[in-house]
Structure 1
């Protein structure tokens, strides 16, 4: 009987000790992984990184039609998500050569990695046409078609060192204002990338300063 009571006492002492785990035994990283309250610093980083990602996405998709991307701070909403993620939603507008376009956006930001994901933007209105600058007759006379086509040919030769023939279509030329004191001469043609190859069509665009007529940029697309 005494032996039985002694064994029972040992069992009572050892049982709970094996089951208990002190909070001090949990590594700090594991405790933090369980979730931490977001801070004002996290919110600021979430807004900044998400809006930068949205602006980059818009510029990639819209090109020159989205040169100036702006966000409306009063419309920004941050929402806690699972883990260390924060959702960011808001509104903005971009202004380009084609006019102004409002949009909404959403994005997720991870405070641990600093990465963004799920970037989505939706255009919510019709383009507001910007007042297009007009070209004066004096400005047009300073713009050289020959200078544009010479620079275009040089750009094509740089792309295709063995270029065969380059032809420009005079009926495709178009001159339009792009900004104050700037004008764009655009057109189409054909290029034989190497002797014996078939010609492929290309388009070109030359940017001029007006009224000086200085050629500042040339771009080709095949």
Structure 2
């Protein structure tokens, strides 16, 4: 399993304007967040990422409280071997300052089971997005000024856990505060068989 920081991703919880955003506000929020996401992809992937494109039909803007808007969406970039790599993202845009407060960036990669001939995981009961969202919330609680949180889809691995559960494990990187270097962390989530309920979340820096 690779341990290099080849990550798709980063998470932030946002707040936004109490009133409905105007078309101009919405366009500015989308433009600012997508520019920040593009910068994050290039920083995380380096030369492995090019031709970043966003899907307008997948874009969702959700005003929350205060002066921020939560922007979510999906897109694709071209990796080092020329293949198209899909991703999802999230971002908080502040209409007063014009700044983005954080990014959620996840490669839409798959899962692989650990080496083992007998154990057959129920892939339909495991949600990488639910796991990584919970891990991001845990890290944000630990580091209130968190800047970025990235998850590596190529590091995801399923293992058997007690009680017939499935354990999803992986590697990520966290920027504990804006301007700080990224620090690698390992994470682990457990899902109940059948209903796919997330019952345990851990992150180790």
- Provide the TM-score with structure 2 as the length reference: 0.43
More helix by share: 1
Larger Cα Rg: Structure 1 or Structure 2? 1
- Provide the TM-score with structure 1 as the length reference: 0.40
